[in-house]
Structure formats: C-alpha cells, structure tokens
C-alpha cells in the first residue's frame, strides 16, 4: 500500500525513535515499527533483488531489495541500511542517493497485528560482487522490477 508520508532524505540521519515519531506525527496511520530497504542499481532498469527463503514466516519466496528491520541499537536510519545491506549481501554501503516511495503493510501473529512502514532508498555500494546470506535468502541477482524505480 502506498504511504501517506512522503519519501524524505532527512530521515537518514535520525535515530530510529526520532524517525518513527516524526513519521507518526505526519501520518494518519500510526506505525509500530519500520523497516528499511536499499535498491542497488546496476542501471536505471536493473536492481539487485534477493529471494526470501521458502520457510520464512512472512512473504516466503518473494523477491525483495536488501533490507530489513531497524534495530533500536542502530544509531541512525543510514546505519540501519548499511547494516542490513552488509548482513544480506556482504556489500559495503558508500552512499544513499535518493528516496523511493515508502510503503506500508501489516503483519499478523499470535500476539496481534503490527503496522509497518518501509523506507527505501537508492544506494551505492562498493564493488559489484555480492554473496547471498543463506540464513535469510535462497538466491539473488539483478532483476527488472515491474514498476519504475
């Protein structure tokens, strides 16, 4: 679902708590958590996509950009993006170029539902070779998303 909060580079240097508070102040939706994503572009039409493992609880076998949950120990959103990109691909983030449209979704578990917002950005990384973390994804490669980046 499209998000009522516009994409913004200002969130990058905020702590997770500051960013979530500002996002909730701007939105008619109230978010419990947020996740980050990084689109590593090879060209304007190809991005690095990773396939979620088939045993994942949420969205098994779905292709996604590198990214994941923002941890309370992440000092900033930028550092959360760098950590997630490195954990999932071994790549080092060198720059964040521009924001992509944020999306929202809800996950459900035994303890209830959780409303999340995903902040995604176009990012530059050092090098081109990557290694998929088998704890999180089954495969990865360059792909052409069905929507414009």
> Model pTM?
0.86
Would strands 112-126 and 33-40 be described as parallel, antiparallel, or unpaired? Answer: parallel
Give the pLDDT confidence of 125-144 residue by residue, as tens digits: 888 889 999 999 999 988 77
The conformational region for residue 90 under phi > 0 = left, psi -120 to 50 = alpha, else beta, is left
Task: Yes or no: say if 68 and 84 are a contact pair by the CB < 8 Å rule.
Answer: yes
Distances (CA, A) of 98 to 9, 11, 20: 7, 12, 19
What structural domains and CATH numbers belong to the chain? 9-143 (3.90.79.10)
List 52's β-bridge partners, or say none. 137
Spatial CA neighbour of 139 closest among 88, 69, 82, 81: 88
% of the chain beyond a pLDDT of 90: 58
42 has pLDDT over 70: no
Token pair belonging to 33: 């958590």
């Amino acid at each position: 679902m499209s998000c009522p909060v516009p994409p913004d580079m200002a969130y990058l240097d905020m702590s997770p708590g500051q960013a979530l508070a500002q996002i909730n102040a701007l939105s008619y939706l109230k978010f419990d958590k947020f996740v980050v994503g990084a689109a590593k572009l090879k060209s304007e039409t190809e991005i690095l996509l990773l396939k979620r493992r088939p045993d994942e609880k949420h969205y098994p076998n779905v292709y996604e950009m590198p990214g994941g949950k923002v941890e309370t120990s992440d000092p900033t959103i930028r550092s959360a993006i760098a950590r997630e990109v490195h954990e999932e691909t071994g790549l080092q983030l060198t720059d964040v170029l521009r924001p992509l449209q944020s999306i929202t979704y809800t996950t459900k578990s035994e303890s209830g539902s959780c409303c999340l917002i995903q902040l995604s950005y176009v990012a530059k990384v050092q090098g081109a070779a990557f290694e998929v973390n088998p704890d999180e994804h089954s495969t990865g490669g360059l792909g052409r998303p069905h929507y414009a980046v």
